């Protein structure tokens, strides 16, 4: 997931695929692990690296930040 956002251009296809595939299963675990590895929440990272309707879509899937 970090590699999808860690470039000059965010790989939107990869980012969408990971979040949508995992939204129902283990997204909470992924969010926790992302924070432990990167010291920033996944919600914050996605908010920073995306914009517009795409940003709102992904943030909705992620749910409100705790």
Residue 4 has pLDDT above 60, yes or no: no
**Coil, strand or helix at 10:** coil
Interatomic CA distance for residues 20 and 60, integer angstroms: 11
pTM of the model: 0.67
What tens digit of pLDDT does each residue of 16-60 get?
887 777 666 788 888 999 999 999 999 999 999 999 999 998 898
- For residue 8, pLDDT over 60 is answered with no
How far is 36 from 12, CA to CA, in rounded Å? Answer: 23
pLDDT band at 61 (very low <50, low <70, confident <90, very high): confident
């Amino acid at each position: 997931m970090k590699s999808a956002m860690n470039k000059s251009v965010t790989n939107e296809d990869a980012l969408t695929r990971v979040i949508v595939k995992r939204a129902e299963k283990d997204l909470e675990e992924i969010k926790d692990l992302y924070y432990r590895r990167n010291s920033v929440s996944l919600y914050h990272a996605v908010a920073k690296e995306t914009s517009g309707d795409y940003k709102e879509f992904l943030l909705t899937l992620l749910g409100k930040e705790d």
